[in-house]
Amino acid sequence: MAESRRKPTEAGRSKVRIRVLRYNPDTDKQPAYRDYTVSVEPTDRVLDALNAIKWYQDGSVTYRRSCAHGVCGSDAMRINGVNRLACKVLMRDVGAEVVIEPLMGFRIIKDLVVDMESFFAQYRSVLPYFVNDSRPPERERLQSIEERERFDDTTKCILCAACTTSCPSFWANEEFVGPATIVNAHRFVFDSRDDAAAPRLERLNGREGVWRCRTVFNCTEACPRDIRITQAIGEVKKAIMYGQIA
């Protein structure tokens, strides 16, 4: 088995079995698991283990990755059955046998790479941008520390889709806008400088909006940025019912 010739940097190197759900629609009838054995250090990321496979054993194993420290949102996948970023999970926390599968609910393009277009289309449907058509002042618009804090949590979203694809309501109905879209609406609805809460809330009050949320909390548990998503969804529901935006 080929592997890197770099010297290990710490003690405690061990062999682990990585089971990857593989699927190439050009050549495979259906997805199937394939096992790989790699040597890892306890502080290696799951992404490092995938790289060890791709770089030295099987270059066709396919996944997205970029920043490798949890801020770009490329490598969301199911790791031992839960949605995680592969670059934010350490090998010492997943055991000697790891099962890696693509996010659920999207078409598989190849292996762990899924088609994100429907996800971004939902995102675009809630006006995910700042709207204020009044003439801006010479300098910045003022906003108090408290007003800024009101939507701080939902500004952290990296659009990785870990929340949406962990949601049973989304699995049951792919037309549901999903938690990530609601998070990105929340970010603007509760921004004191923004003027377009009404059309966003109207969209989220529709058939495929917030009312499909059953408060299961999967999204909150899946979020690699620790956004309190279920709480944010609750705040949007209240804003729709009572017009509370402050």
By CB under 8 A, name the binding residues for another protein. 2, 4-6, 9, 24-27, 43, 45, 51, 54-56, 58-60, 62-74, 88, 90, 109-110, 113, 116, 120, 124, 127-132, 136, 138-145, 147-148, 151-152, 155-156, 158-159, 188, 191, 193-194, 226
d(CA 31, CA 173): 22
Residue closer to another protein (CB basis): 49 or 159: 159
Question: Minimum Å distance from CB 101 to another protein?
Answer: 17
- From CA 68, how far away is CA 166, in angstroms rounded? 22
Q: Residue 212 or 245: which CB sits closer to another protein?
A: 245
Q: Which is nearer to another protein, 11 or 207 (CB)?
A: 11
Residues 196, 197, 200, 202: is their CA dihedral positive or negative? negative
Our CB check for another protein shows the closer of 62 and 173 to be 62
Q: How far is the CB of 171 from another protein (least distance, A)?
A: 23
Q: What is the spatial distance between Cα 74 and Cα 158, in angstroms, rounded to a whole number?
A: 9
At how many degrees (to 10) do helices 179-189 and 197-204 cross?
160
Min separation Cβ 136 and another protein, Å: 5
- Residue 226 CA to residue 194 CA, distance in Å, equals 24
20 in Cβ contact with 33 (< 8 Å) = yes
How near is the Cβ of 43 to another protein at its closest, in Å? Answer: 7
Q: At closest approach, how far in Å is the CB of 241 from another protein? A: 26
The residue whose two tokens read 């088609």 is: 115
Judged by beta carbon, residue 61 or residue 213, the one nearer another protein is: 61
Which tokens in the block code for residue 36? 């790989």
Can you tell me the distance from the alpha carbon of 74 to that of 226, in angstroms, rounded to the nearest whole number?
17
Choose between 156 and 212: whose C-beta lies nearer to another protein: 156
